[in-house]
Structure 1
């Protein structure tokens, strides 16, 4: 990535000194001896190549699974309709997971093609960074906040059900999803103030390719730092804490609900003629409603728990990004940053792939619509085969 005339001094090598290999490593000049050992000692060139290729293949497989799983989830939720607010938020979650998996697939595909000496009409690392890598943390933050909203909404429904049902409607949920997406994803476009696409001649390839330049003006640097600090670090970490707190509260409430149901069931079993007691039938109705709410809460808790486990590596990487200024794609700790990005990129696709299994296991309506949808697909395939 090259700089504009606003800053001709760059720590990066000239264009004719680099190849189109995405694993090409510039020499690290770290002032921190411990980090220098990590960058050059623990990760040699051979180790870095092996880890990178393995992670690319593994991530690509998981991304394909996430694309298929979230496509099916979106189709099922569309069939179910959006009369319930929870369907809107879960659909938004599936759409974001699907988009993130598509972007990750694009980045991995470009890296894989470049590594196998497929001469692309653009510089692989730089162009894929702006067309897929930049959006990844902002989409990840969007997913985190949607999960936080779902968990927070369930907490309110249990703690204050009468008041929340008036506030959490289909319209308010749709507006909330739109606001979350805009606030988290749109700031990623500020990055294009700092980095821009240009056509340059690459002597190594002996042709003109699409590359990027770095605008090192104070305004561009300020916009990038603000957008990444707020939307790439502060917002996702805040959402992670909200999900963690709400999940703990939901688990506590689940235990209280289970204890309450056991006490109600025990009281009913001691009654000789429960049908003659109006209060008994009322309690039975409340038990049925509570059981339905409990199943939904258990599903949300499971989704949130899986999200927490899968998002922990991302939180660690974000903290490293804050502590170490050069821990990024173009810094002196570039090698460690790339490996950490491979690891963190696994978490969200895994979470997105597992969600459909949770819906199928815990949501009876989702399961029935999913079965009908698969049955229709099979019938269409048989019809085409007969034709």
Structure 2
């Protein structure tokens, strides 16, 4: 028997063992079915390895970039409410990157046939992929809040400083965190960790299996619908709506600034005139700053929309096809699609620092000072 046949035999033994365990603990067939779906062992292994390797590199980059962003914003201070929301966004992206590094590491160890005292796929799903999914909802809602904040600055510019303060922004971040993460903690009651003996390994390892309880299953279903479907899709469409509004307003701001610049080019200060006549250039600088902030928020929101679109498509597919989930018939397709969404959102969280650097002069100066790229 060659190595490929041994891997297939081992996979079959593990699958058979899990089927037996789940058969004894659950009456719901959709819970314990584990099949190859459209992918065989070789295809699934190659695709997964490529996604995981690239994702691991991007996750490490995201950890570094978001750590730098948090440090820079902390140096700039939190007198500006936007700094609080941007720090919360960077912290959420950082948490997602760390969790993804853990999940990817488990997969790589498993693929290299390294003996570890737990089932890498199921345990990493509950301790890495599943928490990542809930924290990614936090990223979505923080992005929605940042877009909403910038829309308020355009709609009610005279009242926005009273509505959006450092205290109200911090409160909003806490509410978003509780709204997105806490239900995920309740979702863990659906599964439990247990020691399982696998004959082909001749050892007992830690595994995660579903809990057979109709009441818990109903609670898990409600949480899945609310947190796994309604929350992310609602946040996605809110960000999309606000982004479209900001793009329209940005064009108006650009047109207005060009007209003001044209008028200012014809305006010249004459000796003896009132210095108050310098207001047009002052207004121009103010609108330049506002336009720059709007552009930065639009860039952040656009990257989020692009990276979050695969997640929304995946959620819609899991709703339409009942067996398209982690413990379903199309488990392998679900895992591969999940890896693609992880990679897309990790890249999104890692490139935000580039947006801050090129679009925020204070952030750029503080970062260059932190990295000692400037002499002063």
TM-score, normalised on structure 1? 0.87
2:26 corresponding residue in structure 1: 7
Write the mapping of 1:80-91 to structure 2, written as runs, cut at 5 A. 80-91=76-87
Aligned length in residues: 355
Distance 1:324 1:206 in 2: 37
Write the mapping of 1:168-183 to structure 2, written as runs, cut at 5 A. 168-183=164-179
1:371 corresponding residue in structure 2: 368
Deviation at 1:85, TM superposition (A): 0.5
Distance 1:234 1:286 in 2: 42
Distance 1:81 1:316 in 2: 38
1:19 corresponding residue in structure 2: none
Deviation at 1:213, TM superposition (A): 2.6
Unaligned runs of 5+ in 1: 14-24, 29-38, 379-387
Deviation at 1:304, TM superposition (A): 0.6
Partner of 1:134: helix, strand, or coil? helix
Distance 2:180 2:23 in 1: 29
* CA distance 1:358–1:12, shift in 2 (3 Å): closer
Partner of 1:157: helix, strand, or coil? helix
Deviation at 1:10, TM superposition (A): 5.3
Query: Does structure 2 retain, via aligned residues, the 8 Å contact 1:6–1:217?
Result: no
Partner of 2:158: helix, strand, or coil? helix
Query: Does structure 2 retain, via aligned residues, the 8 Å contact 1:4–1:213?
Result: no
Query: Does structure 2 retain, via aligned residues, the 8 Å contact 1:4–1:214?
Result: no
In the alignment, which of 245, 249, 255 is matched to residue 253 of structure 1? Answer: 249
Deviation at 1:218, TM superposition (A): 1.6
In the alignment, which of 329, 337, 351 is matched to residue 354 of structure 1? Answer: 351
Deviation at 1:250, TM superposition (A): 0.8
Query: Does structure 1 retain, via aligned residues, the 8 Å contact 2:311–2:341?
Result: yes
Query: Does structure 1 retain, via aligned residues, the 8 Å contact 2:30–2:328?
Result: no
Distance 1:297 1:68 in 2: 26
Deviation at 1:50, TM superposition (A): 1.1
1:203 corresponding residue in structure 2: 199
Distance 1:48 1:261 in 2: 54
Distance 1:158 1:12 in 2: 49
Query: Does structure 2 retain, via aligned residues, the 8 Å contact 1:194–1:215?
Result: yes
RMSD: 2.2
Query: Does structure 2 retain, via aligned residues, the 8 Å contact 1:134–1:191?
Result: no
In the alignment, which of 212, 216, 224 is matched to residue 216 of structure 1? Answer: 212
Write the mapping of 1:1-387 to structure 2, written as runs, cut at 5 A. 2-3=21-22, 7=26, 26-27=34-35, 39-40=37-38, 43-273=39-269, 276=273, 280-375=277-372
Query: Does structure 2 retain, via aligned residues, the 8 Å contact 1:237–1:315?
Result: yes
Distance 2:331 2:157 in 1: 50
Deviation at 1:314, TM superposition (A): 0.8
Deviation at 1:283, TM superposition (A): 2.3
Deviation at 1:4, TM superposition (A): 8.5
Distance 1:9 1:268 in 2: 73
* CA distance 1:5–1:325, shift in 2 (3 Å): same
Query: Does structure 2 retain, via aligned residues, the 8 Å contact 1:196–1:214?
Result: yes
Query: Does structure 2 retain, via aligned residues, the 8 Å contact 1:197–1:211?
Result: yes
Deviation at 1:70, TM superposition (A): 0.6
1:33 corresponding residue in structure 2: none
Unaligned runs of 5+ in 2: 1-17
Query: Does structure 2 retain, via aligned residues, the 8 Å contact 1:268–1:280?
Result: no
Q: Name the structure, 1 or 2, with higher relative contact order (CA <8 Å, separation 6+).
A: 2
Distance 2:268 2:356 in 1: 40
Deviation at 1:5, TM superposition (A): 6.1
* CA distance 1:239–1:11, shift in 2 (3 Å): closer
TM-score, normalised on structure 2? 0.89
